[in-house]
């Protein structure tokens, strides 16, 4: 049974996202306890969020131009801490997505480079084969072409030589065959 590659990168990203939730909770607790976090990091985004939310609700209900009271400090600190925790989770998740995208793009680039290298190798092989074909065609054109009759005569000679080598004729048949051949030669010379 073949087992695929274990997606360690995905497991690592999932682990980071799971760790970010307790990290966000610690940041919330630190923001609630620290005056610096409360004053400069939690309160301004919380008040802005409250103002946008209330302004939107008032416009939906048809009230325009009403003054929106800011949140009290404790409620704003709580809302700011929640916003900070959610932003932390969002940033960690977004970072994981970006890292996964970059990893996927690197894998795609590597795959494309392999395909391009294979394509180049095939093109080189086709070029080499084309040159070899041209060389063979040039050799065929340079060699004198034998006629079909000459080829058949050569084949007949080879077959006769093989037959004679396998089965030598007996002495009485050999002398009568040689007399018949000499008689045929005499007739040919007489006709000429």
CA angle 65, 69, 75 (to 5 degrees): 145
Tell me which residue of 51, 100, 42, 108 sits closest to 76, measured CA to CA: 42
CA distance 78 to 73: 9
pLDDT at residue number 3: 47
Where are the extended beta strands (E) located within the chain? none
Q: Model's pTM, two decimal places?
A: 0.51
Tell me which residue of 72, 74, 85 sits closest to 28, measured CA to CA: 85
Report helix, strand or coil for 70.
coil
Give 98's DSSP letter.
H
Tell me which residue of 82, 87, 76 sits closest to 46, measured CA to CA: 76
Q: Encode pLDDT of 97-143 as tens digits.
A: 888 899 999 999 999 999 999 999 999 999 999 999 999 888 888 76
- Structure token digits, residue 133: 């074909």
Confidence band of 179 (pLDDT split at 50, 70, 90): low
Q: Encode pLDDT of 163-172 as tens digits.
A: 887 765 555 5
CA distance 18 to 137: 70
Q: Encode pLDDT of 5-37 as tens digits.
A: 556 767 776 777 777 778 777 877 887 788 888
Q: Count the neighbouring beta carbons within 10 Å of the beta carbon of residue 28.
A: 22
Confidence band of 50 (pLDDT split at 50, 70, 90): very high
pLDDT at residue number 124: 94
Q: Count the neighbouring beta carbons within 10 Å of the beta carbon of residue 134.
A: 10
pLDDT at residue number 119: 95
**Under 8 Å between Cβ of 28 and 81:** yes
């Amino acid at each position: 049974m073949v087992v695929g590659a274990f997606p360690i990168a995905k497991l690592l990203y999932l682990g980071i996202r799971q760790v970010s939730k307790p990290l966000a909770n610690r940041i919330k607790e630190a923001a609630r306890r620290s005056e610096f976090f409360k004053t400069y990091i939690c309160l301004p985004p919380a008040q802005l969020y409250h103002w946008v939310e209330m302004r939107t609700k008032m416009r939906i209900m048809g009230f325009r131009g009403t003054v929106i009271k800011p949140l009290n400090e404790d409620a704003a600190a709580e809302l700011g801490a929640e916003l900070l925790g959610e932003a932390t989770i969002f940033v960690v998740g977004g970072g994981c997505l970006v890292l996964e995208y970059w990893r996927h793009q690197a894998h795609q680039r590597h795959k494309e480079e392999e395909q391009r290298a294979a394509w180049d190798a095939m093109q080189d092989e086709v070029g080499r084969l084309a040159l070899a074909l041209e060389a063979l065609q040039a050799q065929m054109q340079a060699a004198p072409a034998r006629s079909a009759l000459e080829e058949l005569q050569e084949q007949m000679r080879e077959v006769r030589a093989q037959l004679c080598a396998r089965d030598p004729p007996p002495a009485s048949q050999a002398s009568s065959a040689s007399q018949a051949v000499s008689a045929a030669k005499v007739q040919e010379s007489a006709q000429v």
